[in-house]
Structure 1
């Protein structure tokens, strides 16, 4: 009853067994690859931890775990609003270091100071926009150490001028600073 071109039952059973063996091999390979992916992900996380985590022994994870454990115990006991004393870990308390200040240090206050003032000429005190008279609004003081026979500090004072008329009526208020000679 076997038609021509159709495989026999024995051939189908052999092909089915070969397919089952191939499927089993593929499943084993898939399991091995998934285990390798998990291992590589753990290694990557460990490498990131070593690269970006704090290096000091002061920042040990167990400190946080103890606080977490105390918080969990409080939640379990149902106490709300009470301040809980954390257990003593034996580590020194960490104080936040102050940031370094940028720029130069100021010159010592005990040095004598000589004030040298630079002002605009009367012709330059007119507003460049509206030609009204500008008022002195402040000064820019720079200090430099000047050493001859005796050390002293020269204070170079450059007066700043602004126009009250432009300040009240205009959008732009020009500020003019007296130039300092070279």
Structure 2
């Protein structure tokens, strides 16, 4: 029985729940501010030799101007004929767009004329295909998909009919990088590269997953980072440490 003036149990539980929610919000804000502070320190105290044009609003304009300057013709001095063998540096540096790497897979996309346009515009006879013009473009596509791990189960029909117990055997799965997690090795690599190579804070990474239609909380991303470090990256770190020593 509550004394007069004392809060009830329901009121205390509601107050505790409100305080816990407020504590979670403050914790998330502290983590966000710490990440922003670390990023600001990195931007301020990074070596001056590194170019941080990626932090500027006019990055596209600057990059386009630099590319145009690199691709300009000129800069090659024509030397008089001296009768001596030509040196390798006399031809100048080749300019222009670099070819795409040969090791990348190629996908052929064909574009053909409609049948009504295959008649000769001069004599109206049917034209034949004499060749093709091939141009290459770089196509990068990031897709999110769900892997359904189907493990087949087996049982003995004879034991099912005649025996007391029917043993069940389920096909095993390969070892997973983080057991019990929804993230595959590819997903973990994607998140780790964006976090530690590109310097993307976790809340921005969570926003990137959200834009891709995959709601992943910042807490889950944090567990991915910690679990990957403890189970895998720590062993690589120990080996590198021993090798350097």
Give the structure with higher Rg (CA): 1
Higher strand share: 1
**Normalising by structure 1, what TM-score?**
0.29
**Greater relative contact order structure (CA < 8 Å, 6+ sep):** 1
**Normalising by structure 2, what TM-score?**
0.22
